[in-house]
Amino acid sequence: MERFYQEELTCLHIIAHRGASAYAPENTFAAFEKAVELGADFIELDIQITKDGKLAVIHDDKVDRTTNGTGFVREYTMNELEQLDAGSWFGPEYQGEKIPSLEAVLRKYHNKTGLLIEIKSSKTQPGIEKAAGQLISRYGRSMNTIVQSFDAGAMRAFHHMYPSIQTAVLIRPRFGLLPRGRLRQIASFAQYVSLKATMISRLKSWKIDGIITDYPDYF
């Protein structure tokens, strides 16, 4: 990530992608605890809105890939999601691992490690920005919390609603190009941009403040 903090940094921050997802089922407490154990500075996680307006920590908009259930996250209540097995797909030792709620994650980690929270498509999940901002604000910012999305419009709206919470925009530069005008536009409402690792060789002169990785121990 570019400009991961506003102040000058002396080290590279390691962000565990969906937790230490190479070692435990992604977006579960097992993966988050492993990330903390391996010394990650931040935990990256994804959120989807549920049928009852709660925020579930899961990457896909459907539960099929990472649980024993089927269907869209938005068709489940948070309580129903918590009944699914979100660990067996990764390995039998993780049988019974649950989909966490964002509230449960904030309660456990907001005072323990940094959190990089990715909002999935706001176009199919109206109200998700407001719900996330309200929840994060309730727990305060005793440790660094950043909200990011591929949806720049969602991050612009989020910034206007919650200007004290830092934001990032995930971008896929076209043809490997990153126009300065685009960066200036993003800078008007976000503190950071996130790029794929394949872009790093083009950005050697930039100050890279963090790396998002499935293997936090590699760094």
159 is catalytic: no
- DSSP code string of the chain: -BS-SSS--SSPEEEEETTTTTTS-TTSHHHHHHHHHTT-SEEEEEEEE-TTS-EEE-SSSBSTTTSS--SBGGGS-HHHHTTS--STTT-GGGTT--PPBHHHHHHHHTTTSEEEEEE--SSSSTTHHHHHHHHHHHH--SS-EEEEES-HHHHHHHHHH-TTSEEEEE---GGG---HHHHHHHHTT-SEEE--GGGGGGGTTS-B-EEEES-GGG-
Question: What is the rounded CA–CA span in Å between residue 103 and residue 157?
Answer: 21
| Annotated catalytic residue, options 59, 110, 159, 160 | 59
Q: Which residue, 131, 147, 129, 141, is CA-closest to 194?
A: 147
Per annotation, catalytic residue among 17, 110, 159, 160: 17
> Over the Cα atoms of the chain, what is R_g?
17
**What is the spatial distance between Cα 116 and Cα 212, in angstroms, rounded to a whole number?**
10
Q: State the catalytic residues.
A: 17, 59
